[in-house]
Amino acid sequence: MNLELSQDNFIQYLQFEKRLSGHTLVAYTNDLTQFFKFLDTTYEIKNISEVNHTAIRSWIVSLMEQKITPRSVNRKITTLKTFYKFLLRQGVVVESPMLKILSPKTSKRLPVFVEKEKMDELIDNSGFGDDFEGRRNKLIIELFYATGIRLSELINLKTSDVNLHSGQLKVLGKRNKERIVPFSNELKRSIEDYLEIKIDSDVVEFFVSNSGKKLYEKFVYRLVNNYLSMVTTADKKSPHVLRHTFATHMLNNGADLNAIKELLGHANLSATQVYTHNTVEKLKNIHKQAHPKA
């Protein structure tokens, strides 16, 4: 089977059977396209049966020589592992060359988050304005921080998913997994303020643009980046930072790790445990500052 056909079959499988997000599909496609271009240029390989572990190792070495970070290299290796698992199930290959591939070591990177005082300052004193745009923008920031939902989940949130009576959101997460996320009375008031002057629109989504259209990811990303720039100098100022902030503040205030896992929509606890590192670092700093022998 030629490389292009094997890639097309794999991406269709991820899209229609695994139901991965558009963002994830683009990442898989880019990784495979880059890998196949390397195979063609370096080894003149056109068929998937010609690929061996030596060729794959050569690609990994070339990535590291280009100063690609170990974290990014590992993501590409994960793409190939998933790709070859698919090929094995389809009977296209009889053995995966990825069995002989080792991933480079990566240093642990703590999730970036915003301090509570800075979040209070942002929400209380940023002068969002009382018009439609101001109320919507403030609610977007508050919703990310108060619920920890993902960017894609916020954009696709429907008006029917917001239950003011019960104080709950119905969120459709990764792999179309639905979960219920509660919200506070304070957030409820912000939602009511927004709905009071929400622009009439034919779209079913909860958040709309100034012209009544569905919001797009870059718009929300820029919006969050602009507002976070008012209170933090951190390199990362994205919606995901607010998700990290939600989880870190919840954990620091005594929330159970399993409860945070469910609220975030994580498939397993290991993905949530990364937030415990921020708590440990905080304790280390307190110890260093307070203990006479530290």
- Choice among 76, 138, 150, 237 that is catalytic: 150
- Choice among 118, 198, 240, 277 that is catalytic: 240
174 assigned to active site: yes
Give the separation between CA 191 and CA 142, rounded to whole angstroms.
10
243 assigned to active site: yes
- Choice among 138, 243, 244, 249 that is catalytic: 243
Query: Residue 104 carries which DSSP code?
Result: P
Residue 33: phi and psi, rounded to 5, are: -60, -40
| Contact by Cβ (8 Å): 146, 246 | yes
| Contact by Cβ (8 Å): 279, 272 | no
Centroid of chain to Cα 10? 22
136 assigned to active site: no
Q: Which residues pair with 191 in a beta bridge?
A: none
150 assigned to active site: yes
- Choice among 28, 84, 145, 275 that is catalytic: 275
In 3-state terms the chain splits into helix, strand, coil percentages (rounded to 5) of 60, 5, 30
- Choice among 174, 188, 213, 277 that is catalytic: 174
Catalytic residues: 150, 174, 240, 243, 266, 275
